[in-house]
Structure 1
């Protein structure tokens, strides 16, 4: 399906008025890209771990209002109407540059084009991730996981997921009972089964993540051994697990310091990832203070992963 995209460069003062104007002109949806609002959020919450400097800078300094119209609109007339409306709006609001850019967009631009960049790759020493649309001839010593990330986090390319999997490969034992908290695509739960775990419970609060995880579980023929649940740790029956993955963000990992103990027993291995380096000491202190013993830690890029023993 094709859409007409209208993009207007403006100011914070005029962004809401322009968004409303575009809706009145028949826009099916609008988006405001406000770098100042984003930077304000970062000032309020210094612990937005995934917001690195490159992301902040990528927003630039201009406020952009985008809107999408049906392809059957008269593009020239639409642009002319918007130009005239902006002129009238400028008489009582600072609309800034007011530059209008019109493009014809196709759904395929964001639905499937990204797939060309997602190729089979070595996830750990033993595991290869193969996108569902790619062919791959595996070696005899490789374990292959077929994955479609959909809209869920967890393709295996991010350092946090990769480190969790590498630690998992080291610490998973035959017939382990595994809990994957914040499972995303269920890549870690599926990896656990491939590495010899008897069962895995994969949990995520996001509906789309659970939908994608279900498809991946079926695709890898592990539906009899991986159970999916939408919810949080508090929604899970309190029982002991041999190994627990928590690949979320530091704030959530800290919140779980006490409650996760109800799911551990003697010898439970707890693998934590999603920890920005600046939060490393905080996490270490919190978990050792309640009795967990640090086994090892890994670093990749700006991220840290830790393995603990209960």
Structure 2
């Protein structure tokens, strides 16, 4: 089946109501995206314990999908009426019939992280020999190994884990770092995320990899300290979480921080040097990874 896709520019007060109204009037799907995605004005949305969370972008676009024979105009008009707004302008794009499963899978090839560490989707054959392979399919939760911040953290784990460590992945997303730590010899691994979907995805990925990692919402994480604490999130939550992450790190243990832009290295180093002796940052495509030892 071929489809038509319409894109409507909206503000933050309208986006969710309009997406819901489009679905109610016959859209096959309706998604909300940042209107500035891929530009310098892209707005990250996140939430952490004890800090306010942005719920939606200030300028968004609603992307709705219909079958090729649907007249979208009356649907948009009816949805706008439900939302008490003027009928908006929209762009239309026709999408030819394709094997969407094969097309999506073709975009995700095995990723080599280091000489021995690989991330492999389930529809590809795992590398042989001495390779350490993580089987991970792209999904709703962040973290498939393709982003520089994830690669930097995985490479750190590969270089520095000696075996038997207790590892905490704070902001676990897909669970990839906790799972990788176990595959690389850690004795135990736990993950924390504020998103229940991330917890579900992490548990699924751990089961797929036969990795006994445990994942928690922040308030459910048991008390205790860890030999290695990894936080691959964003600079703003990292600014606020320094004390919490330091408390969770054993004396002499390691902190690993990413989600930091090159220009934020000095600021983040200043914050975390209160608790840790930091090593020079590692960088990849404009992103940085800071690591250090707790005093």
Same fold, judged at TM 0.5 (above): yes
| Conserved? CA contact 2:175–2:206, under 8 Å | yes
Q: How far apart, in 2, do the equivalents of 1:20 and 1:169 lie?
A: 45
Q: CA 1:11–1:214 in 2, change beyond 3 Å: closer, same or farther? A: closer
**Correspondence for 1:254:** 239
* 1:305 aligned onto 2:295: no
More helix by share: 1
Q: CA 1:173–1:49 in 2, change beyond 3 Å: closer, same or farther? A: farther
* 1:244 aligned onto 2:235: no
- If the length of structure 2 is used for normalisation, what is the TM-score? 0.76
- Unpaired stretches in structure 1, ≥5 consecutive residues: 51-62
* 1:136 aligned onto 2:129: no
Alignment of 1:256-275 (within 5 A): 256-275=241-260
| Conserved? CA contact 1:49–1:276, under 8 Å | no
**C-alpha RMSD of the superposition:** 3.9
SS in 2 for 1:299: strand
C-alpha displacement of 1:211: 1.8
SS in 2 for 1:258: helix
Q: CA 1:157–1:205 in 2, change beyond 3 Å: closer, same or farther? A: same
C-alpha displacement of 1:183: 1.1
Q: How far apart, in 2, do the equivalents of 1:292 and 1:215 lie?
A: 34
* 1:295 aligned onto 2:279: yes
- Unpaired stretches in structure 2, ≥5 consecutive residues: 47-59
| Conserved? CA contact 2:3–2:96, under 8 Å | yes
Aligned residues: 273
Residue of 108, 111, 126 corresponding to 2:116:
126
How far does the alpha carbon of each residue in 1:227-274 deviate from its partner, in whole angstroms, 9 at most, with x for none? 121x22x54233110001100001111111112222122211000011
Alignment of 1:14-33 (within 5 A): 26-27=26-27, 30=30
**Correspondence for 1:53:** none
**Correspondence for 1:191:** 180
SS in 2 for 1:75: coil
**Correspondence for 2:49:** none
Alignment of 1:33-52 (within 5 A): 35=35, 42=41, 48=44
Q: Which has the larger radius of gyration?
A: 1
Alignment of 1:124-203 (within 5 A): 124-139=114-129, 141-203=130-192
Q: How far apart, in 2, do the equivalents of 1:146 and 1:135 lie?
A: 10
SS in 1 for 2:279: strand
Q: How far apart, in 2, do the equivalents of 1:243 and 1:95 lie?
A: 54
Q: CA 1:65–1:118 in 2, change beyond 3 Å: closer, same or farther? A: closer
Q: How far apart, in 2, do the equivalents of 1:176 and 1:201 lie?
A: 11
C-alpha displacement of 1:201: 0.4
Q: How far apart, in 1, do the equivalents of 2:231 and 2:255 lie?
A: 8
SS in 1 for 2:205: helix
Q: How far apart, in 2, do the equivalents of 1:252 and 1:115 lie?
A: 33
